[in-house]
Amino acid sequence: MASTKKRKLEAGAGAQAMSAFALRRKLLQENKSAPSNLNDPAPGVQDQDSVSDPALETPRTTRSIATKSRSSRPDDGPESGQSIPQVLQAKPEENTPSQDADAEIRPRVVQHSSFRPNRKNLTRRGNGIIVLRLPEGERLVILGSYGIKICSGQATIAGATLRPSDHISWVHSPHCHALPVLRCSEETSIELCPHPAAESLRGLARLSPTFARLWNEPQPDCPPKQRGRETFQIIYTSADGPKRAFLQELKAPAEWNKKIAGLVSKKGSKQQVLLICGPKSSGKSTFARLLTNRLTTDEARLKTRAGAGVAILDIDPGQPEFSPPGIISLVHMDGPNLSPSFCHPNGPPKQQGLLKSHAICAVSPAMDPGHYLECVLDLYAEYQGKLAHKYPLIINTPGWVQGTGLDILVDLIQEIQPTEVVYMSKDGPEETVEGLSLACEKTRCSALSTLPSQATEYTSRTALHFRTMQMLAYFHQDTETTDREHLRWDTRPLTMSAPLMVPFTSSTNGFAGILCYDYQPSIELLGEFLNGTIIALVDVESKEAFSRVHSLSSTRVQESCHEGGSQGVLPLIRNDAGRTLDPKHSRALGLGLIRGIDMENRVIHLLTPVPLKKIQEVQKSGRSIVIVAGKFDPPSWAYTEDLYSQAYESNVKDDNDGAVEVTDEDTDDDSSENNEEEEKLSPQDLQTPWVEVLHGNQKRAVGSRVWRVRRDLGKGAND
């Protein structure tokens, strides 16, 4: 029987441990006494100057490393060459850290656009419009905000097919997302137009560093008067992009294109219902966007009576496409989606595109899976009643595919019975694929297909950053200057916006009351609990919406709220059991930020992009509005807007200001709290609520971070 014990091998008497430095000194001494021929290379060792592989090496890097190796190398003799070829004669691809730090590194230049401008194919107009004449097969990668008008020919971008028309397709293309590629399927003449909303969107950078350095930078030789019109830049190579920016093209695997082509050409007696699911960062939203753009611009569907519209059930509360985080919605798209989600945080540009939405009041369905499922099914019922006979439906789900998340997906498949389920991963998990396959077999009308995931190789923003950007863009919508086609933003801090005054006295109660999901504090702490937080404004369409809340009727709920207002306390709707409003009798109007609570005058100061006209219409119709508190992300971006704005105006920033921590993470457990953005806010210790300014090497006290509940409690208790 072989023993599993490790044996200690005794070294010989003459063998002693020797460091690399001692070994090198010994070899140098031996070389002084041993004759060497410099013309004869050491056997088995190749001179670095003869190593040449352009596919693996960068010329400047290779030369610098080779020179450094030769200068630090002793006289090459047979003994030294044979003894330590790996210590003193490392190949270029085996650089040591010290050599890499000293060597000059030149990044590999990547070709993006095949177009080469000249006087014949490029014409500039005085209003900032550029006219391009492109041959068949030409490709363009453009960074920034711009409009595309096809004068002749045909082009595709992000899955959408653009044809000659007076209509302009507007694009927002920041480098924090993959840049869409404009391809010409035939000889094409196009006009590139400056985006009228580019200035206001870029102005959000003065309020938050997450919006900084996302766009094209003005050229050095550009006149000052023309800089505002340069809202886009053609990227010929990676060297044309902004400094320290990694540019990626929007590419779809061949299996994606084949699947999309099959779905677009598929015909049947009823409209398709596609449920897209998969792990986090697998490409669900990208696939849904490409499919939407193909469907809305398909020539055969455009000729039909109903048109080429598409219904989208956006049910990912953490990374929604057409709503702020914490809200799921049903929207109708009649055109391509060519911008990231933070450029349309309140639905498509046309207001009629948003049909109905519900407030989950959390960035994950985990807070209340039952309520989440009810909200999704109610939105699907809305689709069946209004759009099912005209348009197909695309359902984009969260990236929660295990445990309770898998149970939610199985329930959705059984209740909705989609025509096809697309799972965006071929790497499992195995139990997830088996569960989805079994659910599809039970419905007998759903087919399961798997596609390869397409994880982003490099990202400059985490999931938390994108939620912050979407929430900030939502609250800074400029409703006065926004038109039907372009959404514009107010670049002033929220403290400079006039709040909506909501009284809570018994005689002039402006709303039905305050309802807390998941956790309800005591009435004495309710003011501190709500102040400075994000809440949802919910339109209660029927008294039946209160049927679950504390087993109270609508009349008793309103009476209790009026009693609270008359006693000088906030009108809290008692919800000890943690129930929710019935989604069949309610809908979300939008979100709000409680700026302050004036207990003396019994008024809540509320900031919300929901138009006042819309709120008044609800009240005039006899319905009521409920303020719902939940588990939204803390609006830390709102607390620091004034500090960033003052630093921006006074130019108190260094070259690294606006940089955001780069990470490949895409989870909710974000480590972005550790970055040092607070140190760059302002040189003055301004007294801002909920903001602690740190200076120099000052650190937060132990225990100051948010305590998170461990999810593995009891694990291993029986071990």
For 401-420, what is each residue's pLDDT tens digit?
999 999 999 999 999 999 99
Last residue of a domain, one of 240, 262, 291: 240
Tell whether 308 is covered by a domain: yes
Confidence of residue 550 (pLDDT cuts 50, 70, 90): low
- Encode pLDDT of 569-599 as tens digits: 888 998 888 889 999 999 999 999 999 999 9
Q: Which of 36, 102, 32 is nearest to 67 (CA)?
A: 102
164-191 pLDDT, tens digit per residue, is 999 999 999 999 999 999 999 999 999 9
pLDDT, tens only, 595-618: 999 998 889 999 999 999 999 999
Kindly state whether residue 441 falls inside one of the protein's structural domains.
Answer: yes
Tens digits of per-residue pLDDT, 518-537?
888 888 899 999 999 999 99
Instruction: Report the percent of the chain where pLDDT is more than 90.
Output: 52
Residues 507 and 624 in one domain: yes
Q: Are residues 384 and 413 in the same domain?
A: yes
Higher pLDDT, 553 or 291: 291
92 and 129 within one domain: no
What's the average model confidence in pLDDT over 688-695?
A: 76
Do 296 and 437 lie in one domain? The reply is: yes
Q: Do residue 98 and residue 127 come from a single domain?
A: no
pLDDT for the residue numbered 306: 73
What pLDDT is attached to residue 222? Answer: 62
pLDDT in tens, 638-668: 999 998 998 888 764 444 444 444 333 344 4
Reported as a pLDDT band with limits 50, 70 and 90, residue 227 is: low
Domain end: 636, 657, 691, which one?
636
pLDDT at 272: 93
Is pLDDT of 57 > 90? no
133/201 same-domain check: yes
pLDDT tier at 86 (50, 70, 90 boundaries)? very low
More confident call, 3 vs 497:
497
The mean per-residue pLDDT over the stretch 544-570 comes to 61
Domain enclosing residue 291, as ranges = 271-450
Residue type, 107: P
Q: Does residue 222 share a domain with residue 349?
A: no
Decide if pLDDT at 137 tops 90. yes
Structure tokens at 672: 């972005």
Three-class DSSP category at 516: strand
pTM of the model: 0.79
Instruction: Please give the angle made by the CA atoms of 181, 163 and 351, to the nearest 5 degrees.
Output: 85
Q: How far apart are CA 337 and CA 653, in angstroms?
A: 35
Instruction: List 396's β-bridge partners, or say none.
Output: 276, 314
Terminal alpha carbon distance of the chain: 31
User: Coil, strand or helix: which one is 145?
Assistant: strand
> How many domains does the structure of the chain reveal?
4
Instruction: Give the per-residue pLDDT at 700.
Output: 75
Domain membership flag for residue 579: yes
Q: State the pLDDT at residue 649.
A: 83
Q: Report, as an integer, the average pLDDT of 266-276.
A: 88
3-state secondary structure of 250: coil
DSSP-derived letter for residue 469 is H
In a domain, 484, yes or no: no
CB 302 within 8 A of CB 308: yes
In a domain, 323, yes or no: yes
* Percent of the chain's residues with pLDDT above 70: 71
Alpha-helical regions (H) of 198-309: 198-202, 224-227, 254-265, 284-296, 299-302
The last residue of one of the domains, among 608, 636, 664, is 636
Give the β-pairing of 273-277 and 420-423: parallel
95 and 174 part of one domain: no
* 369-386 helix and 404-416 helix, angle to the nearest 10 degrees: 20
Q: What is the average pLDDT across 292-319? A: 90
Q: Is residue 411 part of a domain?
A: yes
Whole-angstrom Cα distance, residue 513 to residue 575? Answer: 12
> What length is written for the chain?
719
191 part of a folded domain:
yes
Same domain? 139 vs 229:
yes
Domain CATH code at residue 168: 2.60.120.1030
How much is the pLDDT for 36?
43
Lowest mean pLDDT, pick from 317-331, 546-560, 674-688: 674-688
Residue 686: partners with Cβ closer than 8 Å, 6 or more residues away: 642, 643, 646, 693
**409/312 same-domain check:** yes
Residue 686 pLDDT greater than 80, yes or no: no
**Mean pLDDT score across all residues of the chain:** 79
User: Quick one: pLDDT at residue 486?
Assistant: 86
- Kindly state whether residues 183 and 281 are assigned to the same domain: no
> Same domain, yes or no, for 96 and 128?
no
96 conformational bin, left if phi > 0, alpha if psi -120 to 50, beta if neither:
beta
Residue for token pair 């790996």: 86
Task: Give the pLDDT confidence score for residue 68 in this predicted structure.
Answer: 40
Is the pLDDT confidence value at 373 over 90?
yes
Domain assignment of residue 430, yes or no: yes
